């Protein structure tokens, strides 16, 4: 299988949560910088080939830790709402990605600029997820008794995240549009590398008078990436995660990896329940949304195997 090539194509690359914080690590700032540099190696290669790359990224571990800090200091400092914490992590993580990328490009003699855009994403103020939280954030907890105590003490809603343990869930409203889309598109056309929609972007809704107002929640970064790609006319969307391929019956004896499928097939498998909400489900939903609204191709694979996946040797390609 070979992937189609677009001359100087725009590609939105959505980095998964393990791009910056790995599950087995403490997640200190030195580890985050090291992981960021590793995750950008393949992206720098794409840039050197002449592609116009727009980078998005998750923030689950980071915003979860920020919420823990808020809880720990509630007696001493005013609490910070979730929407503002998303903005904080979008800026801090964007700084790590931007600086790491600038240094890597400089060492390769590539004279391109990179910039982080704090991105507001429009959602519906009455989105159902506000009353039924589904978005996982923060660390994993495996002790059920500890989970019960945390729920009681902090008032959190916690759910099981596949077989990895329990995590906090928060509202995840569906993204409708990117507020800064015109600016991002103009900068991309100038050849500037954009880092946007960090953590899915800052959720905002439109008031009756047309102004914006923030809302507490975390937008799924893959769905936001699909909206961004459509808004700026990018034909390709790469979703980088912790697995090399999408699979049916994942984690069972009848697991079946998929190398290639159409958007219609992806929707069929999704409706059959093959892709759970807290794992592959949002990625497949994002792919379907992107392809059914004008996108050309989605590639889902692991961060470490992107070079092979771009050559058609690995990964899952979803097409119109």
Sheet-wide strand order for 177-178: 177-178, 120-122, 202-206, 212-214
17 is catalytic: yes
182 is catalytic: no
Give me the catalytic one of 9, 10, 135, 223.
135
Give me the catalytic one of 9, 10, 16, 18.
18
8 Å CB contact between 129 and 173:
yes
Give me the catalytic one of 138, 221, 295, 315.
221
Give me the catalytic one of 279, 283, 295, 315.
283
135 is catalytic: yes
Cα 85 to Cα 81, 163, 201, 292, distances in angstroms: 6, 28, 11, 32
In the chain, count H helices and then E strands.
9, 17
8 Å CB contact between 62 and 31:
no
Residue 29 is encoded by which pair of tokens?
């700032």
Give me the catalytic one of 17, 83, 138, 199.
17
Q: Which distant-in-sequence residues (6+ apart) come within 8 Å of 238 by Cβ?
A: 11, 12, 13, 14, 298, 299, 300, 301, 306
Strand 256-258 to 246-248 pairing: antiparallel
Task: Enumerate the active-site residues.
Answer: 17-18, 135, 221, 283
């Amino acid at each position: 299988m070979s992937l189609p090539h677009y001359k100087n194509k725009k590609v939105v690359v959505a980095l998964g949560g393990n791009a910056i914080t790995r599950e087995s690590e403490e997640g200190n700032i030195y580890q985050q910088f090291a992981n960021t540099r590793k995750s950008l190696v393949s992206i720098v290669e794409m840039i050197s080939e002449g592609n116009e790359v727009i980078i998005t990224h998750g923030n689950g571990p980071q915003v979860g830790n920020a919420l823990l800090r808020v809880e720990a200091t509630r007696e001493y400092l005013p609490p910070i709402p979730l929407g503002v914490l998303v903005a904080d992590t979008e800026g801090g993580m964007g700084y790590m990605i931007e600086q790491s990328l600038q240094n890597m490009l400089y060492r390769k003699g590539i004279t391109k600029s990179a910039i982080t855009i704090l991105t507001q994403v429009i959602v519906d103020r009455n989105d159902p997820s506000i009353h039924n939280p589904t978005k996982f954030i923060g660390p994993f907890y495996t002790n059920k008794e500890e989970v019960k105590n945390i729920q009681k003490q902090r008032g959190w809603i916690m759910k099981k995240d596949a077989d990895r343990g329990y995590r906090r869930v928060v509202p995840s409203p569906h993204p409708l549009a990117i507020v800064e889309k015109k600016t991002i598109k103009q900068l991309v056309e100038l050849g500037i590398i954009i880092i946007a929609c960090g953590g899915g972007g800052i959720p905002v809704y439109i008031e009756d008078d047309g102004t914006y107002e923030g809302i507490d929640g975390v937008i799924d970064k893959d769905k936001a990436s699909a909206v961004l790609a459509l808004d700026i006319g990018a034909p390709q969307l790469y979703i980088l995660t912790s697995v090399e391929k999408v699979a049916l019956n994942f984690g069972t004896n009848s697991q079946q990896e998929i190398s290639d499928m159409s958007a219609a097939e992806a929707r069929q498998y999704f409706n059959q329940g093959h892709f759970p909400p807290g794992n592959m489900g949002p990625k497949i939903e994002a792919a379907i949304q992107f392809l059914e609204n004008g996108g050309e191709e989605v590639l889902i694979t692991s961060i470490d195997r992107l070079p092979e996946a771009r050559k058609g040797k690995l990964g899952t390609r979803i097409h119109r």
